[in-house]
Amino acid sequence: GPALLFVKTSQGREEGRRFYACSACRDRKDCNFFQWEDEKVSEARLAAREEYNRNHQPSFTHRQNVDRYKNFVLLPLSKRRFCQECQQLLLPAEWEKHSDHQFLCNITTTQLKSPSQLLYPLENKKTNAQYLFADRSCKFLLNLLIDLGFRRVLSVGTPRLHEMIQSKASQEEFNVRSLLLDIDFRYSQFYTEDEFCHYNMFNHHFFGGEAALETCRKFLNEENGEGVIMVTDPPFGGLVEALASSFKKLMAMWRETEKERHDNKEMPVFWIFPYFFESRILDFFPSFSMMDYQVDYDNHALYKHGKTGRRQSPVRIFTNLTPSMIVLPEEEGYRFCTVCQRYVSSGNQHCEICNSCTSKDGRRWKHCILCKKCVKPSWFHCSNCNCCTLQKHSCGKSDLGCFVCGKAGHKRSACPSLS
C-alpha cells in the first residue's frame, strides 16, 4: 500500500529532508523502498517497481483461497495436508509440487478453526511482530466484551481473539461476530471475504480495494452502529502517529452511520499496547484511559502474566469506555479503588497527594515532593538533574538536549520545530 512520509533530521538543524519509505517494514532488508520527497523518478525505475510488485503477489487471490478451502474440508482426513514451508493448505493435485517440503497430515476441523496455531507466527520485530494472546488474556477479553453487551468486534491485528469468536459462532446462545483486519494474507485461506480483510493498519490500506472497504463499512454500520467495538493489538515497534491516523479513519467510518446520533460519540475501542506509550496515545486520543490489566502472550519470552518486577508484561488496555465499566478479575490480584472509580492491581496504592492510583507497572510507586508526582520505587531524586531517576546514572546526559533543535527541556518527539 501507500508509503509514509518521514523526515531525516540532523543534530541542531530545524529543517530535515523528507523521504518516503515503507509503512509496514522498518528494516530496509525487508523492504528496500526509499524515495526522497523532491526526487524525480525515471520511467524505468517505475516500471521496475511495478514488475517487482507483480512478482511478489500471493499465489492465490482471497476468492481462490475461499474456493480451495471449500474443497479442502470435503476431503477425507487422510488427504488433508498443510505445507509448513509454504504455509499453505494443499489439495491432492498439489502434493507432488511440495514433495520435498515438510508438511502436516490429517488436518482436523479443530485445527482449521485455530489457524493461528497452525501458521508460524511472523516474529520479525521490525516488520510483523506477530505475538499472539495467551489463552488467559483472550478468554478475559472475550468475556469482558460479552459482559459489556458488544455483539460485533472489529478485530484489527488480533487473529486469536477473532478465531475464538469464530469457533463459538455455532453455539446457540453465542451472538458475537468478528471481522478480522490483518496484514497477514495467510488468513485468507481460512476465512471468507466477510470474515477477513487484508489490511495495513499503518496506512489504512485495504488490499482488496473498494469491495473490502465496503465490507468493513457495512460491518460497522449494522444496527445503526450500535453494539460494535474495535479491538486492536498493533506491533509495539510501530509508529503511534501512523496507527492513530488509521484508527481515527476507522472510527470515522463508524461515525458515518447516523451523524445526528454519533456526532459527539466515539466508537468504543480497546487499544492494547505497552504502558510506556501512554502519553503518546493520550496525545492523539485524550478521551482514552489506561487499565491496569496485564495482557500476556503465548509466544513472547518476556510478556508473561504472573512475573514480577521488570519481567512482568508491560502490555495494557487503553480504552475510551468509562473505566468503572472494566471489571478486572479479583482472583488475579485486582481490586476496585472507590476514589479513582476503576479496578487497579493490588500493588497500585492510591496516592493522597496525587489523588490517583499512580503506578503503571504493578509495583507500589512513591511520591516525590520535589517532582510533584509519584515515581518508580527504584528511582531517587537527583539534585543535579532536578528530577527523579535511577541511582546509577550519568548526570551529564540530561544536558544533551533535543536531537532536532539542540535545546534542553524536551525530546525530539515533542520538539516545537517539527511541523
Measured between alpha carbons, how far is 297 from 133 in angstroms, rounded to an integer? 4
Q: Which residue has the cell 480483510?
A: 197
Residue 131, pLDDT score:
74
- What is the pTM for the complete model shown? 0.88
Residue 226, pLDDT score:
92
65, HSE (Cβ side, Cα atoms, 13 Å): 20
Count of residues for the chain?
A: 419
Model confidence pLDDT, tens digit, residues 144-195: 999 999 999 999 999 999 999 999 887 878 899 999 999 999 999 999 999 9
Residue 418, pLDDT score:
57
Residue 391, pLDDT score:
83
Residue stretches of the chain with pLDDT short of 70: 11-14, 123-130, 257-264, 299-311, 396-419
Residue 411, pLDDT score:
63
Chain centroid offset of residue 411 CA? 25
Q: Which residue has the cell 516545537?
A: 416
Residue 398, pLDDT score:
45
Distances in whole angstroms, Cα of residue 134 to Cα of each of 76, 140, 205, 301 = 32, 10, 28, 12
* β-strand pairing of 228-232 with 205-206: unpaired
Here the cell at position 28 is 530496509
**3-class DSSP state for residue 284?**
helix
Distances in whole angstroms, Cα of residue 410 to Cα of each of 12, 96, 192, 299 = 13, 61, 48, 36
Residue 108, pLDDT score:
94
Residue 56, pLDDT score:
86
Measured between alpha carbons, how far is 221 from 216 in angstroms, rounded to an integer? 9
Beta pairing partners, 20:
5, 35
Strand order in the sheet with 34-36: 4-8, 17-21, 34-36
**3-class DSSP state for residue 116?**
helix
